[in-house]
Structure 1
Amino acid sequence: MADKNNAQVKIKKQEKPNTLHKKKLLIYAHYYVPDTASTGQILRELAEGMLDTFDITVICVVPSYLGTIEDKYKTQKYYEENINGVKVLRIRVPEFSKTNKMSRIKNILGYFFGAMAATFKVGKQDYVFSISQPPILGGLIGVWGKWMKRAKYIYNIQDFNPEQVLAVGYSKNKIVTGLMMWFDKFSCKRSDLVITVGRDLVETLNGRFRGATPPKSALINNWIDEKEIYPLEADNEKVVAFKKKYELEDKFVIMYSGNIGLYYDLENLLKVIEKFPTDTKAADGREVIFAFVGAGSVLDKLILYKEKHHMDNVVFIPYQAKEDLIYSLNAGDVHWCVNAKGIKGVSCPSKYYGLAACGKPVLGVLETGSEVRCLIEETNGGLCCEPGEYDEVENNIRWFIEHAGSVEVEQMGHRGHEDLIKNLTREESVKKYAEEILGC
């Protein structure tokens, strides 16, 4: 027994030096696994990927992305967990409904003020990292953490606000949007480093400070884990099962996968799809079908339009579990990657990385100079046109239909995949994050 205790002491002494040299990094994540929010997934992979460099703590809400909270998270104010080596401090927040704005606001404010208080529970930190979610408050909580911990602050901007709000006409109140801009510029100015996810977002950041010195910034692309999402053969058992379940067998599938929400102009794109009759055949003889996989605020409108106009070549498929995403993405022959007009420099559609990872050609409706359009055009990985150019959208759909099964279409997907493996892997992006944080 004494020998066993001595052995444990020796192990602890050997482990201690390995943790002493690590800098401490605090991440404000809002959502974190097991929540399915895309930013929560990115932050999980980022945190776990940097554990060799940093001792990492995440402050986030209890699992509640869909609005409901399990009973086990309703009895305490804070919950401490360890997920794959990452220390997680969860804050209890009120439940909410996505259709009730007031409940949503209460939930977000619960996170904001809860995170401020939770900051005092995590000890000394060398770096504080926050993202631009929730809008404006995500940046401000990072400034708070910097001041309270006397740490370097890294602000990761996934979406610019109020620019996004203005782009889709969600609010035209100049007082509200003016205050939003002031606060988010304040967060940028107080940061030691701003990391954006696209070259057009870098331009937006610099444009905010035209005539003054912009904050230090870096561009690091988002990613998808290329070891989890990759090309599969058409006869893969689970791909075949997915197609059979949703009646996609022997069809030429033009797929949209992701959030069916405000920022994608999907209602007008459905009107373009209406120009392709139900009996439209691709060049290789397969019937053409348009599949929408996901959910969001405009889904019901799309379903009503489809039913009213008898568009039997359009199907709607629920969100797929993360472990099944590889099969649904591989079931598409061509994939949409779209944004509404005005989103350039404001947001970057990260769904592109999944499409490239599974080696699929892309039907892009994206503004010239936007990050993902640049990636598609640089690799010749698909066809692109401007948002609102509906005649060109129709022409590009028709081109893919007329070239279905061709080597040309197949090579588009291959080129996008090769570029991702060479330049846009999870490992490469996480490495850049660690280097930029240490160097700020």
Structure 2
Amino acid sequence: MLGKKKNEKKKLLIYAHYYIPDVASTGQILKELAEGMLTEFDITIICVVPSYTGKVNNEYKIKRFFNEEINGVKVLRIRVPEFNKNNKVSRIKNILAYFFGALIATFKVGKMDYVYSISQPPILGGLIGIWGKLVKQAKYIYNIQDFNPEQTLAVGYSKNKFVLNTMLLLDKFSCKRSDKVIVVGRDMVETLKGRFEGRQVPNHVFINNWIDEKEIHPLPDDHEGVVAFKKKYGLENKFIIMYSGNLGLYYDLERIMSVIKKFNYRDDVIFAFVGEGSIRDKLVSYKENWNLQNVSFIPYQDKSDLIYSLNAGNVHWCVNAKGIKGVSVPSKLYGILAAGKPVLGVLEKGAEARLIIEETKCGYVTEPGNYEMIEKIIEKYLNEKESSTITLMGEQGRAYLVENLTKDVSIEKYIEEIVSC
């Protein structure tokens, strides 16, 4: 019988920019989202070849497009040039290669019922989604993980008013042309409404990001994987205050290093930074210039090892620079909660991550820029390191995550919202 089968799955195209095996947090989230929605949709991903670190393996340099299938998800990868994260020009070339490659790749994936894109790369992610909607005559869902140009303005990456105003107009256009906007924080709902001054606000919904609570969970201190991680990176017999994630512009880490410097006399604590990013070299230089003995830099961990690194930390940073409230939600919070660890939060009042920390009492938190209070919180944790307070905080965070922030809960919401478009 010709025609569409009665029970044939709807086809969903996802523009992902980064996708596994890249370690970008959005790539990991989209991997779990795509695989979790396979029961409902036939899913195709358009993304770049693995290149989050700036390097591209030789196997991905031989042609422009690469077709793969990963765990039932079709993946169409676009070759992009290598780039240096500290060089704006090379980053722009890399991003534009993805943008124009994605426009062409859209013609290669056949009919689609739904198109889904995220707000990365900034502005271009939304425009690619509109392109997909037009070419495929499909419903378009725009997932805003980060608001731009608001994020760009907050960290001073650009102060060119013409550029910023143009960015805002383009991203508002993407919001207007979408059939549904999905944001990842309660504070981000207010930002969306503010963009449109409460008038003709696009159809929208709030869905938390998540982590797979079955993959990341609490482990005892003497677990062999945790012990091996500590031994490998010289963290044994230390109270570990850990930052795990992107070492980028949006976290005020350079100034926080000046607070960490004040604890250089303490040999019982170590500040571990796990990850890579555009300011890593600056942080390493600061450590070397001030001869900080209790600061350690550790490379990104494979996903299979993430459970050990997160459990190795006694306390975890969750920070954002001033101005990020309502613009972005640090996804690292979910990993901290999943591992059952307390939080050292540097977040604005009313920010989604801070609301969760305050509601669950899973850590101490202060405002970005309040370096005196950051120092006091570090001292407080050091004074409590032998107490049950830290354990209780971690347990409270884990309990909240299991109840409210699991992968299954959020993915079911995504399915419902996409189907209802």
- TM-score tier, shorter chain, comes to over 0.9
Equivalent runs, 1:245-256 vs 2, <5 Å: 245-256=232-243
Q: What residue is the counterpart of 2:12 in the other structure?
A: 25
User: 2:370: which partner in 1?
Assistant: 389
Say yes or no: does 1:414 pair with 2:395: yes
Find the aligned partners of 1:325 and 1:73 in 2 and give their Cα distance: 26
* Equivalent residue, structure 2, for 1:324: 305
Counterpart of 1:3 in structure 2 is: none
Partner of residue 419, structure 2? 438
Structure 1: 5+ residue stretches without partners: 1-12, 281-286
Please, which of 289, 294, 315 is the counterpart of residue 308 of structure 1? 289
1:337 aligns with 2:318: yes
- Name which of structure 1's ranges 101-110 and 338-347 shifts more when overlaid on structure 2: 101-110
1:30-71 per-residue CA deviation (whole Å, 9 max, x = no partner) reads 111122221111111100000001111111122222233233
Q: How does 1:354-369 map to 2 (within 5 A)?
A: 354-369=335-350
Pairing of 1:89-168 with structure 2 (within 5 A): 89-168=76-155
CA contact (8 A) 2:85 2:277 kept: no
TM superposition score normalised by structure 1? 0.92
Distance change in 2, residues 1:277/1:121 (3 Å): closer
Could you say what the CA RMSD is over the residues aligned between the two structures, in angstroms? 1.6
1:220 matches 2:207: yes
Q: How does 1:136-215 map to 2 (within 5 A)?
A: 136-215=123-202
Q: State the secondary structure of the residue aligned to 2:47.
A: strand
What are the Cα deviations for residues 111-130 of structure 1, in whole angstroms up to 9, with x where unaligned? Answer: 11111111122221111000
Contact 1:131 1:157 in 2 (8 A): yes
| 8 A contact 1:76–1:92 mirrored in 2 | yes
Give 1:277 shift. Answer: 4.0
Alpha-carbon contact 2:85-2:278 (below 8 Å) kept = no
**Contact residue 210 and residue 406 of structure 2 kept, 8 A:** yes
Question: SS in structure 1 opposite 2:418?
Answer: helix
- 1:221-248 deviations in Å (ceiling 9; x for gaps): 1111111111000000111111112222
SS of 2:293 mapped into structure 1: coil
The counterpart of 1:425, out of the listed 378, 391, 406, is 406
Q: Is the 8 A contact 1:192 1:216 kept in 2?
A: yes
Deviates further, 183-192 or 85-94: 85-94
- TM-score (structure 2 length as normaliser): 0.96
Structure 1 runs of 4+ with >3 Å offset: none
Please give the alpha-carbon distance, in whole angstroms, between the structure 1 residues aligned to 2:165 and 2:172: 11
Contact 1:67–1:96 (CA under 8 A) maintained in structure 2: yes
Aligned partners of 2:104 and 2:277: how far apart in 1? 32
- The answer to whether the 8 A contact 2:9-2:40 is kept is yes
Contact kept in structure 2, 1:278 and 1:311, CA below 8 Å: no
| Paired residue type of 1:376 | I
Picking from 373, 376, 401, the partner of 2:354 is 373
Which residue, 20, 31, 37 being the options, matches 1:44?
A: 31
For the 8 Å contact 1:62–1:93, the answer to whether it is kept is yes
Is the contact between residue 154 and residue 194 of structure 1 (CA under 8 Å) also seen in structure 2?
yes
Which AA in structure 1 matches 2:337?
A
CA pair 211-433 structure 1, distance change in 2 beyond 3 A: closer
| 1:64 to 1:301, Cα distance in 2 relative to 1, 3 A | closer
Helix, strand or coil at the partner of 2:140: strand
Aligned equivalent of 2:74: 87
Q: Spell out the pairing of 1:5-20 with structure 2 (5 A cutoff).
A: 20=7
Residue type of the alignment partner of 2:201? P
Q: Which amino acid aligns with 2:143?
A: N
What is the aligned-residue identity percentage? Answer: 67
CA distance in 1, matches of 2:8, 2:388: 53
8 Å CA contact retained: 1:360, 1:413: yes
**Could you tell me how far apart the structure 2 residues matched to 1:31 and 1:177 are?**
24
- Match of 1:386, as an amino acid? E
Q: Which runs of 5+ in 2 are unaligned?
A: none
Which structure has the bigger radius of gyration? Answer: 1
Verify: 1:295 aligned to 2:276, yes or no: yes
